[in-house]
Every structure is written in structure tokens, then in C-alpha cells.
Amino acid sequence: MSELTDLTAVQLVEGYRKGEFSPVDAVRAVLRRAEEVQPAVNAFVRIEPETALEQAEASAARWLRGEPRGLVDGVPVSVKDLLLMRGGPTLRGSRTIRPQGAWDEDAPSVARLREHGAVFTGRTTTPEFGWKAVTDSPQSGITRNPYDTSRTSGGSSGGSAVAVAAGAGPLSLGTDGGGSVRIPAAFCGIFGLKPTYGRVPLYPASPFGTLAHVGPMTRDAADAALMMDVITGPDARDWSQLAPGAGDFRARLGEGVRGLRVAYSPSLGGQVAVRPAVAAAVRRAVECLAAQGAYVEEADPDFPEPVEAFQTLWFSGAARVVQHMSHAQRELLDPGLREVCAQGARYSALDYLAAVDVRMDLGRRMGRFHQTHDLLVTPTLPITAFEAGAEVPKGSGHRRWTGWAPFTYPFNLTQQPAATVPCGVDGDGLPIGVQIVGARHADTVVLRAAHALYEAGGGGITPPGRV
């Protein structure tokens, strides 16, 4: 049944409906694959076969009666180890968190998946408290890229990206505060969506405030639309959630891109040096959109690099995470995290509010930009995956991860929906992603464009070989 690990969630549900195979078959195959790849890539903090098989058997019984619980009944799902999931500890990549305790609450997105019958196969790795865009931590070690295990998976949802790419389940829940869904998705050759802020409820609130989003990490845009129809369900614990949207995400997936106004910005107005292989692959994806009837023009959003404002907000959030820790606990932290926490603690309230002013101006600029452009298309990243275990590429001159991820974090500041679609590989066979950004609340338009790329052959790459 190993071929079941190659199927999307949509295909699995259809197979269950037709009786071609059962959730038990699929979950066994996924668990077998997870155990097989784990030693090489380290995608999981925990794999939970007993619980998963129990859930799969209950799902199989429901399907046999013709009474599936919901949209993803019996579909294997993994969850980033930043999101609460009852029945086991959420360690957040940190040795400072005690695993003992009740652990009896689900995060909203986990709760919605559980209500729809999803089968939870395990918890995926994250850097400590999700602070950086690669995935290694003192608690769980280094997570590696399934296309080349000497390279990074990206982060901070690196374990989720690797799990999906390697066939250890078609769906995973990630979080994205500055690119943490899109960066590892791009490095690992899968689809990732950062929805409009508030579209997917979040609890507990992130210490990084309204930069942090929850989003699907999947094989393709159709699976992400399916997952969004589940995880966007309301939850009273999130005071900042948006009102339920009109209609469902799958209903408009096939509307295509004909007539959409697409701005193609290859380098944010010359602000970013993009590797030639990346630039060429992204241009081909843009040409694919144009061939399907989108009106494409080269146009750059009008904003200066907002890295200082982002880092003020991000590092302040990191300082808040450790504020009440003892000296002994702080000694257990990732050394890089200790550095950014110290920097964040030095900012004043006025520094923070100045960064908020930059953020509001950026949001205003992008709001005006989307009056004349439905979508903005950029590279997801200017590079492909670099050596594992490093925060920045060797010899890059960058001090922090924000230096090599300039296309992602601006859209956390603005809270816009943004997706990454795999659109090719470089000369070393490493995945390249194209980023599709929509106006706030235009999540369905982003998903439509991404799905159109997949349907036309401009999205998706060959999965990695056995690792």
C-alpha cells in the first residue's frame, strides 16, 4: 500500500468514498513512511502510531456506515509542535518546557480538524518557539531537506514541510510569522499558504502578536482549499478572528485567472539579488499565468525594505517569550534566540510604536497597490536551500535569517494572504518557489491562481526520492 503515500487528501477522501481503500490502509502506509524517513530528515518530534491507528479504525467504521464525520475524515495530518494538541505535550522546540501536565486542550485549527475526523499522526519539528527561518533546536536537533539531506528544510515549519514532501502525510498545520509556512514549503517543493490574518483562528495568542498566522502545508492548492474549509471554522478563544467568509474555498478553486491583473515583481524594484535559476523558474510560472488569460505586467510595490521595523516587532516578541524565565532556563535556549531576545529587550515602547507606524504605512501602500493589481507575484525566496544547521548561508554576509528572506516577511506586516507554489528546480535539483500575494481577504483569489498553475503544469515538481 506504499503508493497511498503519494495521494493527496482529495484523492484519499475520494478513495474512501468509493471503497477502494480504507483510512486504516492509508494511515498505516503514512506511518510506515514516517518511520522510514525520520532517521534521515528528522521531521517529527513524535510519531504516534497507536493513537493514529485507533483514530483510523474509528474513521473506517464511519465510512463503512456511509457516515463520514466531516471533510477530512480519515486523512492523515501532522501538526507543528507550536500548536496545542490534547493528549501530549507541546514542547515548542525548547528544553525549557516541562512535558508533564494535563495537555488537554486543542488549538482552534487542531480542534476543527478533529471535528472533521482527521487522523493525527504526529508532531513536527520547529526551531525554539519558532524564532527563525530554519529548523533546528536544542530540543529536537536539525531537520533536513528531503531533496538533499545536507541542506536545510527552512523554517520555522520545517518539519511539516518535510513530512508532506517525503510522503509522511498529505496535510500538515504550520505557522507563519515572517515566512515560516512559505519558506520551508519553497525549500521542500510543496504548497504553503499564509492566509489573511484572522482567517484561521489562533489560540493561545502568539507572543509575536498579529504577525503570526496559521496555515495549511499540502501537496497542492486543492488540498489547501479543502483544509481551509475546515480550519477557518470560528473559535471563541480568538478575539481577533475574522467573521466567516462567504462560500467555501473549494467552490471557487476552478475559476482560473482569466482577466486577473497580475503584477510581476522579480526583485522588488531591484532591492533583492535573485539567483538566475530562481529568476528563470519564476518567470516561467508568470508566463504560464499569462498564457491562461491573466493580464501580466512588471510592476513593483512601492515600499522601502521594512526589515528594521519587522525585526523590532519580531525580536520584541522573542524577548516577551523569555521574559519570565530564570537564568538557568535561559542558559538552555538556542544561543541565537538568546541574542535576539537581548536585542528585543533593549527596544523602548517608542521604538515599538515607530515600527507599528512603518507597518501601517506599508499596509496603506499595499492597499493602494491592490486597487490596480489583483495579485502580486514574486520569487518566494531569492535562493534555494543552503547547508543544514546554519541560520544564514555561509559567506552570505547576513547576520540574521531576515537577510535572505526579503520576499516573505513584508506580507506578515500587512497581514495579506500569500502562497508559495513549487515551480522548478535549480541545477542541484533543489526546489524553487513562486510567491502569489493577494489583497487582504482575497484568499480565494490566491488559491485560484495557485490551482491554475498546477492545472496548467506550471506548478508542482517531482517528489524527492527515498531518503
Query: Annotated catalytic sites, by residue?
Result: 80, 156, 180
d(C-alpha 260, C-alpha 255), whole Å: 11
Spatial separation of the C-alpha atoms in residues 212 and 210, rounded to whole Å:
5
Nearest to 423 by CA among 297, 326, 284, 305: 284
Beta-carbon contacts of 4 under 8 Å, excluding residues fewer than 6 positions away, are 12, 21, 25, 26, 29, 30
The number of CA neighbours under 13 Å toward the Cβ of 440 is 15
Question: One-letter amino acid identity for 222?
Answer: A
Please state, in angstroms and as integers, the Cα–Cα distance from residue 442 to each residue in 122, 173, 252, following that order: 31, 21, 12
Q: Which residues pair with 317 in a beta bridge?
A: none
Q: Are 131 and 157 in contact (CB under 8 A)?
A: no
Q: Count the Cβ atoms, other than its own, within 10 Å of residue 148.
A: 17
How many C-beta atoms lie closer than 10 Å to residue 235's C-beta? 18
Residue with cell 521574559: 323
A 10 A CB-CB count for 350 gives: 8
HSE, CB side, 13 Å, CA atoms: give it for residue 354: 10
Do the Cβ atoms of 377 and 289 come closer than 8 Å? yes
- Element spanning 78, H or E: strand 76-80
The size of the chain, in residues, is 467
Helices (H) and strands (E) in the chain, counts: 14, 15
* Residue 268 Cα distances to 81, 88, 381, 410, angstroms: 33, 43, 12, 11
Half-sphere exposure of 447 (CA within 13 A, CB side): 29
